[in-house]
Structure 1
Amino acid sequence: MKILFILLLFISFLFSKDEIQPLTEPWTPYQIETKDGLEGISIDLIKEIQKRIGNKKKIKVFPWKRGYNITLKKKGYALFLTTKSKQRENLFKWVGPISSMEIRFFKNAFRDDLNINSLEDAKKVSSITVAEDTITKEVLSEFGFTNLDINTLANNSFNKLLENKTDLYPVEENSFMYKLKQLNLQKKIIPVKMEAFYESKLYIAFNIETDDKIIKRWQVAFDEIKADGTYDKIIGRYR
């Protein structure tokens, strides 16, 4: 009887209904909105996890701040891709790491007057544009920056840099370079001399009230995807 009970528990763990609603934001090449729907590295990965665990929820796209606040406050939601910072670590439950990121400063190519070689140099400029509730804002605030121009929408920061209405824009390097190439703007917006000032891992963040069994189910599925070569195949589609 004991063996049967354990077996039934295991079957229940594998096949119990998963009602987690995945949320994300537009962020190439990880999450890309096209006329045919969503695609990208993390989109394909989340869909593969969903397939393996039986989650049939359609991924929803929101601006970062809204998706973050929904996941923070409402049980049954998960947000990807999310940096697990010290401030956020105990606010969510986590699956991953899914990928990694490096943040560095970019400037308008017309700004020959901006020679940024250190964080101290960056602290001296008039304006650094950042989006609200982002890891970039958190990190620079921790470093003691007082010249941050905080925007509700991430796109506002990009537009200000493009229109030369701010001095610097700190952003994840790989995704931003991909975006610039897609828009043919890599000669108009360029990285400063200073290398990345922040490195971190990216995760799926779940509302803190999410059942630990669900977290384990997602983590196990992700680990299997990495182990069986599916992860590398997904990455290869966007190289």
Structure 2
Amino acid sequence: MRLVPAAAAALLLLLPLPAATQQVLRLVTGELPPYAFHVPPPTVAEQGEPQGLVWEVVREVARRIGHPIGIEFMPWPRAQELALGLPNIGILALTRSPEREEHYSWVFEVVTDDLVLVGGAGVDVSALERVRDRPTGVLLRSGAEQLLRERGFTRIQPAAEEWVNAQRLRDRLIDAWLAPRLMVLHAHREVGGDVAALGIGAVVRRSGIWFAASRGLPEAEIVRWRRGFEAMRADGTYDRILARYTRLRPAPVPEDARRQPIPWVN
């Protein structure tokens, strides 16, 4: 059979890469519900079931392209340190931001979320500058924390997990909280809060939640992963996973079930 050049090129794009050129990434993440998390959470039990919107998507893409599907959970700052300092690290779920742009290889965007400012009772959260002098919760080593530091905020209160920020806001230990909307809703429900009563104010920016990798990942490897993701979108698998997590209503975790106390905030 004779192929015209354009048809031949299209056919080549559909063929798998030779095994010798394929790289194995060490896949890492943190406790980032609803993107990647355990039920019950690690603060309650050591053997929770891993799940999450980005966790499921990346595992499914890995399965489709013949890559090992194991994903390691670790403290989120440690996961970022690995991806910044070592080659062949795949990291999920990472917010793509101007501050991070040049430090990673950006493989594919799983979902777009809003980075929102949330306030306690009586706190004006109509704009980020309104809370410049107020204690504001963020996820440790997150894009939100970096944004506030670059804008000169001095009363930043980082937390290892977002449920800590939800509880601090409820207990009036912080006045505001900056995080992606889906993470805010999940964490607020996790501490038994009523999302209808949440004071969500300004959308600070749109935030793409990505599967990324160490800098220098070969373009051919990025293309391999993107093909797998595009195939998921084409056959409806992605939409089914997304719908399940946007409907997710996590059960509240009783305070006395947590093994990790919340540090006092000054």
- Specify the TM-score bucket, using the shorter chain as the normaliser: 0.7 to 0.9
| Kept in 2: contact 1:116–1:122 (CA 8 A) | yes
Report deviation, 1:54: 0.9
Residue 60 of structure 2 aligns with which residue? 48
Is 1:13 matched up with 2:22?
Answer: no
TM-score (norm 1): 0.83
Instruction: Choose from 136, 154, 163 the match for 2:171.
Output: 163
Mapped to 1, the partners of 2:195 and 2:105 lie a distance apart of: 40
Residue 111 of structure 2 aligns with which residue? 99
Report deviation, 1:159: 4.3
- RCO higher in structure (CA 8 A, sep ≥6): 1
Mapped to 2, the partners of 1:176 and 1:233 lie a distance apart of: 22
User: Partner amino acid for 1:211?
Assistant: P
Is 1:25 matched up with 2:30?
Answer: yes
Instruction: Choose from 53, 56, 62 the match for 2:74.
Output: 62
TM-score (norm 2): 0.75
User: Partner amino acid for 1:116?
Assistant: V
Instruction: Choose from 129, 132, 138 the match for 1:123.
Output: 132
Mapped to 2, the partners of 1:189 and 1:146 lie a distance apart of: 28
Report deviation, 1:163: 3.2
Aligned-residue CA RMSD (Å) = 2.9
SS where residue 17 of structure 2 aligns?
Answer: helix
Instruction: Choose from 192, 208, 229 the match for 2:236.
Output: 229
Number of residue-to-residue matches in the alignment: 229
Mapped to 2, the partners of 1:141 and 1:42 lie a distance apart of: 27
| Kept in 2: contact 1:29–1:40 (CA 8 A) | yes
**Structure 1 unaligned blocks of 5 or more:** none
SS where residue 57 of structure 2 aligns?
Answer: helix
SS where residue 82 of structure 2 aligns?
Answer: helix
Mapped to 1, the partners of 2:83 and 2:228 lie a distance apart of: 21
Is 1:185 matched up with 2:214?
Answer: no
| Kept in 2: contact 1:177–1:186 (CA 8 A) | no
Mapped to 1, the partners of 2:79 and 2:155 lie a distance apart of: 26
Report deviation, 1:14: 5.1
SS where residue 70 of structure 2 aligns?
Answer: coil
